[in-house]
Amino acid sequence: VKAWSFIDKVGLANLQEVERPMPKAGIGQVVMRMKAVALNYRDLAIARGHYHVGVEAPLVPLADGIGEVVAIGNGITRLAIGDLACPTYMPGWIDGPVTPRKALRRLGGPNDGTATEYFVAHEDELVIAPKSLTAAEAATLPIAAVTAWHSLFEKASVPPGSTVLVNGSGGVSTAAIQLARAAGARVIAVTRRAAHAEGLHIAGAHHVVVYADADWTIEVRRLARDGVDTVVDVAAGPGIAQLLSVLLPGGDLHLIGYAAGTAAEFDMFDAIRRAITIHFGSGGSRSSFEALVRAIDVNTIKPIIGRRLPIADLVAGYALLAAGGQVGKIVLEFAD
Amino acid sequence: VKAWSFIDKVGLANLQEVERPMPKAGIGQVVMRMKAVALNYRDLAIARGHYHVGVEAPLVPLADGIGEVVAIGNGITRLAIGDLACPTYMPGWIDGPVTPRKALRRLGGPNDGTATEYFVAHEDELVIAPKSLTAAEAATLPIAAVTAWHSLFEKASVPPGSTVLVNGSGGVSTAAIQLARAAGARVIAVTRRAAHAEGLHIAGAHHVVVYADADWTIEVRRLARDGVDTVVDVAAGPGIAQLLSVLLPGGDLHLIGYAAGTAAEFDMFDAIRRAITIHFGSGGSRSSFEALVRAIDVNTIKPIIGRRLPIADLVAGYALLAAGGQVGKIVLEFAD
Amino acid sequence: VKAWSFIDKVGLANLQEVERPMPKAGIGQVVMRMKAVALNYRDLAIARGHYHVGVEAPLVPLADGIGEVVAIGNGITRLAIGDLACPTYMPGWIDGPVTPRKALRRLGGPNDGTATEYFVAHEDELVIAPKSLTAAEAATLPIAAVTAWHSLFEKASVPPGSTVLVNGSGGVSTAAIQLARAAGARVIAVTRRAAHAEGLHIAGAHHVVVYADADWTIEVRRLARDGVDTVVDVAAGPGIAQLLSVLLPGGDLHLIGYAAGTAAEFDMFDAIRRAITIHFGSGGSRSSFEALVRAIDVNTIKPIIGRRLPIADLVAGYALLAAGGQVGKIVLEFAD
Amino acid sequence: VKAWSFIDKVGLANLQEVERPMPKAGIGQVVMRMKAVALNYRDLAIARGHYHVGVEAPLVPLADGIGEVVAIGNGITRLAIGDLACPTYMPGWIDGPVTPRKALRRLGGPNDGTATEYFVAHEDELVIAPKSLTAAEAATLPIAAVTAWHSLFEKASVPPGSTVLVNGSGGVSTAAIQLARAAGARVIAVTRRAAHAEGLHIAGAHHVVVYADADWTIEVRRLARDGVDTVVDVAAGPGIAQLLSVLLPGGDLHLIGYAAGTAAEFDMFDAIRRAITIHFGSGGSRSSFEALVRAIDVNTIKPIIGRRLPIADLVAGYALLAAGGQVGKIVLEFAD
């Protein structure tokens, strides 16, 4: 069966289609025929060699995806042949808060990921996809939407009527907009690209503020009166100081991406005076994913897909992600 | 100015219109001309003499209401002439968890309440009404909606996609339905009266189950698959056992009323095995009320009014509440 | 190898020593030679036939215990030969909040328990015992101390300086006293038996109040000034009303036993007015158990053992538990 | 009466003894004759002009202190003549989470502080001192110990057996060591100065690690096995990267001081991968202070006083604080 793999060395130049043996379902395992996978910024960082934690070739990339169960081993109780299911990004994190042991394995690096025609996993490491979504939509959930869910509702909370500011227009950002809106929050989206404003409104933002030469924080403060309760940021980098400046005293900043750089550059005196909490993190448990599935089905949330490509165009997908021209996720589909 | 008061002895027979001097705004105080007030089950219990905690005549009843600020004392910073504001049911409870000291004063008994043409209060004991509501709608908020808010979002939480079962069709119940729905939950309403089903659907319930000879818990379990995450109950009494039986292990039961009796009659062994938490309580802080106001404005939640009467029909209002024939709140309006 | 089992029918008259084949360690499993086991009230309720949830003969009773790892299967990563480890009461509950699926299996009924010379389990269902305890002491932990831990520190919290009232003198009660004391709380123990006062002081209670004809709640209120923050109760039954009466508004009642009866008999009106939360429950996750182990080692907490008997006297142990004459746990030891 | 005040311009050179009229107790107010005050790093930052948020001369510095109530106005219910009480650092923060409005007023800048023979305040802005402390000990509590309390027990939690690392040897650090120890945690203190090790042990640290050329994080990781659950840091500056590196995944970093600089300089990628939460903040509510008082009395915690001076040596006290040669707080006493 076909898979995509970094050969010899991790890097886009070495990402090739390879032939591998058909996997078998051991005790407690299931085999899925993959229907779609999706890209995350993390996949790009790994492919560029910017992610130096135990990631080595050969490696099958990607963590997002969905497949149809085509074979089951002995002792399977949670799934059946024909079910559509998604893998979990950190397969060892079933429930509760993260621990070193739970965070060890990660799909797409250091462990083999979802860019493969057939994917085998223990049944405990899979989640049945939301009934209300297409396969392509559900393929986008494992990293971005689970991260947004875990941050907004499990690390902190988003009571109805609170104000959530979301930075960016990628998969985590659009998932955060949709989930915060479903929870009854007032949602302000901030983006560098005027072309993304319409997409962010469609995702559910009440207000979209486009960066310009002028200080965007003035407009946010006008919209939010005193300030915002919660910020979801995927960029990190030098913009943090501005994000902190629009938070209310006691507010929460979720820092779940580093697209603009990893160096923290902000003044801690102001953060102390205003009693800010910064929640760093990425991913969530299988239990978080299952709660997300319920939220999607009850609120008919449709993940935003920016581009759909055949899996054969995987390398082109990475380039699109790097260019950042779309709102939402880039999905790569397998032929039926 | 006119007020309504229990003369000599608390009891509906002694509830009379009385003349009282026009109140003055002392330092930090404001005077409001009341526009509307609303009834709670608690008011009925007090009028019937079923509430024996320091409640004595003479007493101006009721805690719900809204007024227009017509005079302000020195040092006022939170309100201005012309503002529409609601009193807080427990004026001493500004913020944080309840304490004996904060819970001491309660409008409508033991302290004088809102059934008066002019109401004077310290500005710290008032909340500016939601901009998106009419005066009659906002008058319903201080007890029922604040109680529902504090229970659902501050004592526990209601993540999007969780299932909330609400029992009853009075003011707390319809507020709980609306708020849980705004928070993205799946909402099941349960009622004894088939005639209330439509009103509960309008309030936002996804499903309405009408009690019948058959066991209603079977239908709830069918709708909720395994069970529900959260129950909001205003009846107490013998029905608790059934409510507990539809809760998932680890579920939350909010017990915020006692319309069907105050004796706890259920089997604790089952509650222990299933790790249920019962949150008893009523009311919330001014800070809870302010958060509720934001939720109402952001989500354009319109409180359900079952009946509107002129304030002169106050005694008739109590009778309607006792009969329980309407969905939502009974509002009594003052002439302009 | 020897085990003890209810033959034909659950009941003390049918509890016999039986011979069973030596267990083998399958993939991921370990075999322990048991060194000690301990009794819980639950074991007594099961033996008396008062626990009707899927418990059927033949059944090896008990859930508490400790053993030495004597054989390991393939793939073991958490344990090694020679380790002293305790089983977990609900083996499926590894982490996070309880769910129906996690609560399915329970040692000592419906699943075979620890009253056996050799016990086999998946390594995920075992916890390495605290280094600071003897085997007999560690044998007492799986139900009573884990329940006390989960209730006090995971369902609610016990900040230093808060007041905790503990009812009873059995294993849960003494563990709750020790843990609350280690957390810096002020601890008041309440007991029916004057003879237990000294033992409860030794466990760490600052004050011991002995029930008498007079109302013990008066003395508790005198000691605690306004009231107590937290109550841990193992009796349930008619005493709940008194326990509720000494709780501060907003206080927590942990109801984790039913020695005095399972019918809830208290007035809900008062619980509503005072915003009480009742946490029902029993047991905790493996993760809770591991946190408990750290707390024991850091604070050198020594579980209170009321009686030590050889395992051959198992039936006599049940009788001692029923009589309730000791403070702390009844431990049954295996010969070396 | 005498007071100390920055004349014309904030700065140590302008700190002078001044004569002011004896304050009177208005409605709801009390006058205290001050017995002792204490210094915080914040006072030094203000005196050096490093704190540019609305702080202007003339200004009476300091926020810590204790006084004896010598006069009361009308309507006082919480205090009596002769009571020993401490002011609250942010007088508007009575309860609940911080808000812009609650954080507006701060003693010692922008509002007049405690360096005065007679201090007048609303009774709601005072806390009765712990019975178990001397006046000098209680004078140290309002900023440092309240900050440590609010951080450890209200923003996050410190279950018994968890590991807490505390950086520094000033007032916040020694309070954090004492409180974490009282809560049953394992406490590791880290200091640059070998001479402080003994004092930190006396405060209650299980282990003291002294910085040296070698990487201190190696020793901390050896002591804590995998890492620590909680870090309390008062230095900020470039050391944050090392503090983050010893935290367990999911761990909490409380950043409540900036003695080593205010620029955040750490790698966010690692913080994201390890799901760290950083809680910035300072101070706590009156309700936090009252809970702290209970914890102190129950656990007989004695605040660590590094130096005691007469109030006339106030300027010398600032110099001692800047030099950092002592463990614990610098207290300035008034003559009886």
Closest residue in chain D to residue B97, using alpha carbons only = D96
Q: How far is it, in rounded angstroms, from Cα B169 to Cα B18? A: 33
Q: What is the pLDDT of residues A25-39, one digit of tens each?
A: 999 999 999 999 999
- Enter the DSSP assignment of B23: P
Model confidence pLDDT, tens digit, residues D61-97: 999 999 999 999 999 999 999 999 999 999 999 999 9
CA–CA distance, B132 with B141 (Å, rounded to integer)? 13
Q: Which of B280, B282, B285, B288 to mutate to test the interface with C (most CBs of C within 10 A)?
A: B280
Predicted structure pTM score: 0.96
Across the interface, which of C53, C98, C249 has its CB nearest the CB of B98?
A: C249
Residue B17's pLDDT is: 96
Q: Given CB atoms, is B238 within the 8 Å cutoff of chain C? A: no
> In this model, does residue D213 exceed pLDDT 70?
no
Question: Residue range D240-253: average pLDDT?
Answer: 94
Determine contact: B294 vs chain A, CB below 8 A: yes
The count of C-alpha atoms lying within 13 angstroms of the C-alpha of D254, restricted to the half-sphere facing its C-beta, is 29
D-interface mutation test, from A226, A278, A282, most D Cβ less than 10 A away: A278
Q: What residue in A sits closest to B292 (Cα-Cα)? A: A161
- The H-or-E segment that residue B289 falls in is helix B286-299
Is the minimum CB–CB distance between C223 and chain D shorter than 8 Å?
no
D293/C184 Cβ within 8 A: no
Report strand pairing: B305-310 vs B329-333: parallel
Instruction: Show the beta-strand stretches assigned E in C256-304.
Output: 277-280
Residues of A within 8 A of C94 (CB-CB) are: 94-96
Round to whole Å and give the CA distance between D273 and D249: 8
β-partners of residue B33 are: B68, B118
Say how many C-beta atoms besides its own lie within 10 A of residue A21's C-beta: 7
Q: Using one digit for the tens of pLDDT, what is the confidence trace for B175-210?
A: 999 999 999 999 999 999 999 999 999 999 999 999
CA distance D293 to chain C (A): 8
For residue D157, the chain A residues in CB contact (below 8 A) are: none
Report how far residue A157's alpha carbon sits from residue A154's, in angstroms, rounded to the nearest whole number: 7
Q: Do B266 and C264 touch (CB under 8 A)?
A: yes
Contact with chain C for residue B262, Cβ under 8 A: yes
Residues of chain C short of pLDDT 50, as ranges, are: none
Question: φ and ψ at C240, to 5 degrees?
Answer: -60, -35
- Between chains, do D292 and C183 touch, taking CB under 8 Å as contact? no
Residue D16 pLDDT:
96
pLDDT of D267 reads 86
> Given a cut of 80, is residue B237 above it in pLDDT?
no
Contact residues, chain A, for B207 at CB < 8 Å: none
The distance from CA A41 to its chain's CA centroid, rounded to whole angstroms, is 8
pLDDT at res. B182: 98
Q: Which helix (H) or strand (E) is A229 found in, with range?
A: strand A228-233
Greatest mean pLDDT among A50-54, A236-240, B1-5, B271-275: B1-5
The answer to whether residue B247 neighbours chain A at the CB level (below 8 Å) is no
**CB contact C179 to D (< 8 Å):** yes
Taking contacts as CB-CB distances below 8 angstroms, the residues of chain B near D94 are: 94-96
Residue A96 above 90 pLDDT? yes
Instruction: Let me know: does A61 contact A17? Beta carbons within 8 Å.
Output: no
Res A212: pLDDT = 78
Q: Say yes or no to pLDDT of A214 above 80.
A: no
Work out the pLDDT band at B213, boundaries 50, 70, 90: low
Give which of C154, C226, C228, C273 to mutate to test B binding, by max B Cβ within 10 Å.
C273
Q: Which residues of C touch D299 (CB under 8 A)?
A: 160-161, 184
Give the nearest partner residue to C159 out of D186, D291, D293, using CB atoms.
D291
List the chains bordering chain D where 3 or more Cβ pairs fall under 8 Å. A, B, C
Nearest CA in chain C to A99: C287
Per-residue confidence at B307, pLDDT binned at 50, 70, 90? very high
Whether A213 shows a pLDDT value over 70: the answer reads no
| Nearest in space to A204 (alpha carbons), one of A223, A227, A224, A186 | A186
Q: State pLDDT tens for residues A40-93.
A: 999 999 999 887 778 999 999 999 999 999 999 999 999 999 999 999 999 999
CB contact under 8 A, D292 and C179: no
Question: Chain-wide mean pLDDT for chain D?
Answer: 95
Of C248, C256, C266, the CB nearest to B100: C248
pLDDT for A237 equals 73
Least confident range of A54-58, A112-116, D154-158, D296-300: A54-58
Interface mutation target, options A95, A123, A286, chain C, most CBs of C under 10 Å: A95
ipTM of the complex: 0.95
| Nearest residue, CB atoms, C160 vs list D161, D179, D186 | D179
- Contact at CB, D256 and A272, closer than 8 angstroms: yes
Q: Which residues of chain B neighbour D27 with C-beta distances below 8 Å?
A: 27
User: Does the CB of C291 have a partner CB in chain A at under 8 Å?
Assistant: no
Q: Do A280 and D258 touch (CB under 8 A)?
A: no
What local confidence, expressed as pLDDT, does residue B51 receive?
Answer: 78
B95 touches chain D (CB under 8 A): yes
Q: Which pairs count as long-range contacts for B49-57, CB under 8 Å and 24+ apart, including other chains?
A: B49/B10, B49/B11, B51/B109, B53/B110, B53/C273, B54/B109, B54/B110, B55/B10, B55/B109, B55/B110, B56/B10, B56/B110, B57/B5, B57/B6, B57/B7, B57/B8, B57/B9, B57/B10, B57/B14
CA distance C323 to A245: 65
Output the six-digit token pair for C16. Answer: 């016999």
- Please count the residues of chain C: 336
Residue B67: pLDDT band with limits 50, 70, 90: very high
Q: How many CB atoms lie within 10 A of CB B333?
A: 19
